Chain A
């Protein structure tokens, strides 16, 4: 069981502070005025050198947002957010949006990413023969600081760049697809994002192309009092395939920080998108001070026939998670999948799940959700599976299991099933339990320590989901799981 031993070793190696990405990068930055107004929106748009249509789009979203109220239905509890007391734009000084070489990037930034274990030096990776190559878009606060392997990807016809660049360079694609999955009027946080989003990744995979490497974006919040509003748009044209990874961290700060992202995926005929997230925002300290509020709208549209979208997420960070990666199964024979591990410890609150909306014929979806709550945290799975009247032969299987560690935490399941056609077959099962004494006894009797036994059982519990992650991430995720659960045993 080398993986388990490694997990346990990792847990041991960590000293007092469990969150190892909590450092702050001292770098001068260029910020927008505090607060949110039309001027802020204009400022962001101007900074990005956007065309008028984009500014109008943002302003419309902003005006709509002013009329909306913050949703309160999720099982999360937090003091009211003062949206006028935030910085909506913060960029490390000296970085200008636009194409640049790595040599232009502030060395301090490069060191930051090195510390986070994110390689931005292409040659370094090329040197390692065995290593798989991953193209990285690094987003620091409100701007993308570097994107690797752009040229090689361009040879294959794949566009992978910051969205601000895409708005300038590929307006026809952006105009066609931006907001087509998550409209500006979708929900409070998505509308806010539409008004003030600053950067994020844009991916376009042309017809029949299998993206030659994994694409990934690494998000880092650094500056104080800022919100990060990233926007990701991935389009897989007919018959293409892309696997995209996303990672995120933030420094440890006493105050809460807002992260409201929107991710839109579009899969056309026979295309497949695999989207994996390892979310490790700063979760706050053990008393619940600080941490990121993670209010994210992620939605994939299986627009074409035989298309497939698969979401895999490992959620270990954030003080509050409010996130429902969903699939609209519009094309006939399309497939949606959702694999999730959500771990909460300390005072974290997680309200996450998915929506599978079956519209086309012969659509199938699968949901595997594993929630682990420890400490004083609350972990909720909230999901919807619906079949439209014309979605004949829709098929869904849902399995959501919760594991409770300690008696001060909560685990909740709120699934909605709506079948409007008799040809739909939906199955849903959910269980909640704690690690049983029998299992612990069995492991310990065979010489495992208590900690090792818990690690083994937890790894077994989440195995179904870990298997779905790309390999590099699976290892990373396994480490994260053990780190998040540290101190919860006994």
Chain B
């Protein structure tokens, strides 16, 4: 009666197992890394890809969305490099840019000038060589989560960024990811540690061509006491891609984290965010915008774990959905026993622009301390008829009126980007989505 039902492996699961078996020997990091990778892959292999019967993946059935596993990307050819050069995202944005093409560091396209004082940037291989286990099995991230475990099992390239205590580099660091060429799978990992009282702005962008690539990225962020980090992400992958991304952030005492994400790409995409409050009086402001049309499926899953005193978190996620698009927002604020004076507010709003769009929200609170103020809200609805009428009565055509209202809706999040050129670039991208829509 209680026998665990283990369905027959899907084609994707079998292919993943074969890929892992062949990639395992050559994966960087030596024996220590191999053990972690084996464990990680075993976690996925034993349970299979998560399906809708797994609560965390209830609305994003990875087994159904990932019908096949793409082969691991080879080093990009000269043609692919040229194509990537033409596609580089956020071209006008001044930052120290590091480019990955098909998951491999592309030195030619990257900003090779030495980083600013107090910042060191090294390939992931360096971290794997020194302490593979902790670079692969990150703290504060559920390592048995399917997306995380697959990343751990397969990741070969990435970055390690360290900002020393007190350093405040003026230029942001921009990690640009380009997928081009034949359909492939690419894995990336960026580990960032920010020293005490230091501050950094990190920008992550993802673009790709129309091939059905599969990307899986993980960003690990470790903020020491008093550190500050701003993280801006643009997910603008090709419309055939499957994009799985995880952000794991650990916040020390009085650390401050701000994130803004804009997701417009991928046929199916899931952004997972795990925030772990490790010190008192830390604050996090986590926001995101999802724009989707067609039959696309975009998921944001968030777990905010409060274990310490006097911390505050704000989450604001908005999605505008057209066609038969589906958005998922799963957010959970956990307040552990003793995490008194926690202040958590979470808001998820979905705007349905077509009759067939679908929004799913699951905002959760799990609270074990009494002296807290926590709340969440969720709304789902179409554009306000009165507002549309107001604009139309003033001679603005329907399509334009709709665009104006959506702009205002998502603007609340995008305006939170302090860097002006970056804010403009992301706003322009959102505007382009609206223009293409109408």
Contact = CB atoms under 8 A, between A and B. Distances in A.
A419 B376 contact: no
Interface stretch (A22-30, A176-184, A420-428, A462-470): A420-428
Nearest to A417: B361
A420 B379 CA distance: 13
A428 B379 contact: yes
B394 to A, nearest CB: 24
A96 interface: no
B372 A434 contact: yes
B435 interface: no
A412 B374 CA distance: 11
Interface residues of B, number: 38
A402 interface: yes
A405 B381 contact: no
A429 B337 CA distance: 23
A174 B386 CA distance: 49
B356 interface: yes
B365 A411 contact: yes
A412 B367 contact: yes
B245 interface: no
Given A69-B2, A434-B370, A422 B379 contact: no
A422 to B, nearest CB: 3
A430 B377 contact: yes
Contacts of A402: 365, 367
A73 B361 CA distance: 18
Contact of A422 (B354, B364, B365): B354
B382 A432 contact: no
Interface string A61-81: 000000111000100000000
B375 A389 contact: no
A406 interface: yes
B87 interface: no
A44 interface: no
Nearest to B365: A413
Interface in A393-412: 402, 404-412
A406 B370 contact: yes
A442 interface: no
B353 A422 contact: yes
B370 A407 contact: yes
A57 interface: no
Interface in B341-391: 350, 352-382
B337 A407 contact: yes
B436 interface: no
Contacts of B78: none
Interface in B170-215: none
Contacts of A418: 358-360
B274 to A, nearest CB: 18
B378 A426 contact: yes
Interface residues of A, number: 37
Nearest to B58: A416
A426 B375 contact: no
B55 interface: yes
Given A73-B55, A434-B371, A434-B372, A419 B365 contact: no
Nearest to A411: B367
A424 B380 contact: yes
A414 interface: yes
B86 interface: no
A101 interface: no
Residues of A contacting B: mostly = strand
Contacts of B364: 412-415
B1 interface: yes
B241 interface: no
Contacts of B1: 67-69
Interface in B16-75: 55
A432 B371 CA distance: 9
B361 A428 contact: yes
A430 B337 contact: no
B362 A414 contact: yes
B290 interface: no
A433 interface: yes
B409 to A, nearest CB: 14
A431 interface: yes
B340 interface: yes
B350 A419 contact: yes
B366 to A, nearest CB: 5
Contact of A429 (B338, B362, B377): B377
Contacts of A432: 365, 367, 372-375
Given A425-B381, A428-B378, A417 B370 contact: no
B380 A426 contact: yes
Interface string A8-48: 00000000000000000000000000000000000000000
A376 B380 CA distance: 35
A407 B372 CA distance: 10
A5 to B, nearest CB: 27
A405 B367 CA distance: 12
A433 B335 CA distance: 12
Contacts of B350: 419
B358 A419 contact: yes
A377 to B, nearest CB: 11
A91 B116 CA distance: 84
Nearest to A433: B373
Given A404-B369, A414-B364, A419-B360, 9 more contacts: A402-B367, A407-B371, A408-B337, A413-B363, A426-B380, A427-B377, A428-B376, A428-B378, A430-B375
28 contacts: A407-B370, A409-B368, A411-B365, A412-B367, A413-B376, A416-B361, A417-B359, A417-B378, A418-B358, A419-B350, A419-B352, A419-B359, A420-B358, A421-B352, A421-B355, A422-B354, A425-B380, A427-B377, A427-B379, A428-B361, A428-B379, A429-B377, A430-B375, A431-B375, A432-B373, A433-B372, A433-B374, A434-B371
